[in-house]
Amino acid sequence: MTDTLAGMAATAQSVAEVCAAARSAARGLARLSTNTKNAALLAMADALESRTDEILEANARDMEAGREAELPSGLLDRLELTEKRLADIAGDVRAIAGLPDPVGETVEGWRLPNGLDIRRVRVPLGVVAVVYEARPNVTIDCSALCLKSGNAIVLRGSSAAAHSNSVLAAVAASAVADAGVPDGAISIVAGGDRDELRQIATQDGVVDLIIPRGGEGLKAALKEHATVPVMYAAAGNCHVFVDSSANLDDAAAITINAKVQRPSVCNAAETLLVHADVAAEFVPRVLGELREKGVELRVDGRTRSVAGDLADSLADATEEDWETEYHALILAVKVVDTADEAIEHVNRYGSGHSEAIVTGSTESAREFTDAVDAACVYVNASTRFTDGAVFGMGAEIGNSTQKLHARGPIALRELTTYKFVIEGSGQVRE
């Protein structure tokens, strides 16, 4: 049986059986040496490259089905694998292999007056389940991060990427098993069945954490059923605020990059806020450049009033537009009177993902970074940089907008917890 067929056959197991096998594998994974984990990751990267044709063939089947189903362009973009994207994924796996191993790291330590030595030490979470939509790269990114951090992973992708995910998981699982990783360390369930999601979400004592990557529907489904802890890799309704002191060349470049460079991803900007003091100069310029890039613009009345020749071609922004993550070449635009008004808008409508200010004022930058409630806050840079790989973390499972137990890119250290190790010399408590 080929690895691909073996991966598909594995889905015939019940969810409980898959999770139980992962729990068994997690015990061995927690004790693996760094050298063994790194060797397994390098084997995984090599296998991805040597089996590129097989992986792309499976992905082509998903892409064909997606076009027939008339999936949105943003979803198709996230679904598609190319030789370059696959090479980049393999490169991320190698980068993870090159990072320090968080397992066993001493976070802090101290000695009590009675001579007891106390250390807080990083340890794996155990079994991590990742539930995600049509993003086959997640299959590998998450598997690599979990392996390096000593965790077993249960993958549950969407039916839209079923062929891609099955092949990728099989390639990864086979490669790491040959390198000495316990069977069951990387496993996948079929995807597409909501009852599977319910079963994974209720594996108390077996699954230690669920991380969903998807829209509000997935989030709501987990909230309805989950008895296992959930860390949401949430949606990104991101903003760029152009302050009154901004360098307008920088502001235009940052706005266009944040919206246009890859509009289907969660760190793309969805709303542009412009200070009234620079609106008359900046708005016509940036709207013209955005329009040339194919961006549909939805604006408030004050933006329209300074939009010049473009005014009559602009759509009116509604309350829904301020709340929407478009995943498309659509941008909402609003003029504000103060930085405080921009901050209030961001905190009201933003999802807590990534927010940016373009400013020449240290005071305004500090006010924005202090007051905006988001995982990542940028000064004079595009929101598109929010990414575990870009941050030097190797890759990410997603970007957490929660405050417990991790916030921002979920990478190696975010996939660990800790234990206290206390060493004595016969002390007893009186």
pLDDT digit string, tens, across residues 31-48: 999 999 999 999 999 999
CATH number for the domain harbouring residue 288: 3.40.309.10
Which tops the pLDDT comparison, 219 or 19?
Answer: 19
Assigned domain for 340 exists: yes
Ranking 11-20, 304-313, 402-411 by mean pLDDT, the lowest is 11-20
Given a contact cutoff of 8 angstroms between Cβ atoms, the answer to whether 121 and 107 are in contact is: yes
Q: Is the distance from CB of 228 to CB of 195 less than 8 angstroms?
A: no
The pLDDT mean for the chain works out to 94
CATH number of the domain where residue 66 is located: 3.40.605.10
Q: Given this model, what pLDDT does residue 274 score?
A: 98
The pLDDT of residue 387 is above 90: yes
Task: Report how far residue 320's alpha carbon sits from residue 156's, in angstroms, rounded to the nearest whole number.
Answer: 31
**Whether residue 160 is found in the same domain as residue 213:** yes
- Report yes or no on 391 lying in a domain: no
Write down the pLDDT at residue 288.
97
User: What local confidence, expressed as pLDDT, does residue 4 receive?
Assistant: 43
**Is residue 341 over pLDDT 70?**
yes
428 inside domain: no
- The residue type found at 120 is R
**Greatest pairwise CA separation for the chain in angstroms:** 83
Q: Where does residue 248 rank: exposed (0-12), middle (13-18), buried (19+ CB within 10 A)?
A: middle
Which residues are CB-contacts of 84 (< 8 A; sequence separation ≥ 6)? none
- Is it the case that residue 6 has pLDDT exceeding 60? no
* Rounded percentage of the chain residues whose pLDDT exceeds 90: 84
Give the residues across from 238 on adjacent strands: 269
From the CA atom positions of the chain, what is the Rg in Å? 24
- Stretch 44-62: mean pLDDT: 97
Over the stretch 184-212, which tens digit does the pLDDT of each residue have?
A: 999 999 766 778 889 999 999 999 999 99
For residues 210 and 93, state if they share a domain.
Answer: yes
Residue 361 has pLDDT above 90, yes or no: yes
User: Are residues 194 and 93 part of one domain?
Assistant: yes
Residue 392 falls inside a structural domain: no
Mean of pLDDT values over 383-396: 92
What is the arithmetic mean of pLDDT over 346-369? 97
Kindly state the tokens that stand for 339.
């930085």
Q: 257 and 336 in one domain? A: yes
- Looking at the fold, whether 163 and 63 belong to one and the same domain comes out as yes
Distance CA 46, CA 248 (A): 45
Cα atoms found within 13 Å of the Cα of residue 54, Cβ hemisphere only: 16
In a domain, 416, yes or no: yes
Say if residue 2's pLDDT is above 90. Answer: no
Q: What is the model's pLDDT at position 85?
A: 96
How many domains is the chain built from? 2
What pLDDT is attached to residue 10?
43
Q: Is the confidence at residue 5, as pLDDT, over 50?
A: no
Taking only the tens place, the pLDDT of each residue in 101-114 is 999 999 999 999 99
Per-residue model confidence (pLDDT) at position 290: 98
Mark whether 166 and 29 lie in a shared domain: yes
Percent of the chain with pLDDT strictly greater than 70: 96
Q: Is residue 371 domain-shared with residue 315, that is, in the same domain?
A: yes
Give the model's pLDDT for residue 191: 62
**Does residue 317 have a pLDDT over 70?**
yes
Residues 268 and 218 in one domain: no
Cβ atoms of residues 175 and 94 within 8 Å: no
430 within a domain of the structure (yes/no): no
Pair 306, 339 in one domain = yes
Scan for tokens 């984990």, then name that residue: 37
**pLDDT on residue 7:** 41
Tell me phi and psi for residue 417, to 5 degrees: -120, -155
Task: Flag whether 370 is in a domain.
Answer: yes
- The answer on 356 and 297 residing in a single domain is yes
3-state SS of the chain is CCHHHHHHHHCCCCHHHHHHHHHHHHHHHCCCCHHHHHHHHHHHHHHHHHCHHHHHHHHHHHHHHHHHCCCCHHHHHHHCCCHHHHHHHHHHHHHHHCCCCCCCCEEEEEECCCCCEEEEEEEECCEEEEEECCCCHHHHHHHHHHHHCCCEEEEECCHHHHHHHHHHHHHHHHHHHHCCCCCCCEEEECCCCHHHHHHHHCCCCCCCEEEEECCHHHHHHHHHHCCCCECCECCCCEEEEECCCCCHHHHHHHHHHHHHCCCCCCCCEEEEEEEHHHHHHHHHHHHHHHHHCCCEEEECHHHHHCCHHHHHHCEECCHHHHHCCCCCCEEEEEEECCHHHHHHHHHHHCCCCEEEEECCCHHHHHHHHHHCCCCEEEECCCHHHCCCCCCCCCCCCCEECCCCCCCEECCCHHHEEEEEEEECCCCCCC
As a whole number of angstroms, the distance between CA 231 and CA 234 comes to 9
State how far the Cα of 240 lies from the Cα of 326, in Å rounded to an integer. 15
Considering the domain architecture, whether residues 354 and 410 belong to the same structural domain is answered as no
What is residue 405's predicted lDDT score, i.e. its pLDDT? 87
Looking at the structure, do residues 228 and 246 belong to the same domain, yes or no? no
- Mean per-residue pLDDT for 402-417? 93
- pLDDT reading at 239 higher than 90: yes
The whole-number pLDDT of residue 220 equals 85
Q: Record the pTM.
A: 0.87
For residue 366, what are the domain limits? 238-385
Q: Residue 126 in contact with residue 152, Cβ under 8 Å?
A: yes
Specify if 251 maps to a domain: yes
